[in-house]
Amino acid sequence: MALYSEKVMDHFRNPRNVGVLEDANAIGEVGNAKCGDIMKMYLKIEDDVVQDVKFETFGCGSAIASSSMATELIKGKPLEEVKKLTNQAVTEALDGLPAHKLHCSVLAEEAIQKALEDYYSRQA
């Protein structure tokens, strides 16, 4: 069995939604000192819907694939649905990750949650 699924390899080789979103109104950045991965998520939220999303990730292939898949899972979705996104959902959408790489999907979830916190703090 291959270490990585075809979906992981596809999102690593052809990541979706990469870059900086200049008009983002929600930004979340997280990192894992142990592995060195850093993720930054940019969201453009209008009428409680994620209209656009981009990411910058410095890290391994699993981190890049997790970031890419996470953006695909939340783009165009209402915030109530985005709030419920879990690392398990990201992992399942990628057809699995090796156990020692599950922290990458956790980082993707945390980056989105940080962006939502940023969005709500800006609204206050």
3-state secondary structure of 41: strand
Please check whether residue 84 is in contact with residue 123, taking contact to mean a CB–CB distance below 8 angstroms.
no
Q: How far apart are CA 113 and CA 62, in angstroms?
A: 19
Q: What is the pTM of this model?
A: 0.94
Q: Which two tokens stand for residue 122?
A: 């800006």
Amino acid identity of residue 88, one-letter, is Q
* CATH node for 6-119: 3.90.1010.10
Please check whether residue 44 is in contact with residue 23, taking contact to mean a CB–CB distance below 8 angstroms.
yes
**Catalytically active residues, by annotation:** 35, 104
Using pLDDT thresholds of 50, 70 and 90, give the confidence band for residue 1: very low
Mean pLDDT lowest for which of 1-5, 34-38, 107-111? 1-5
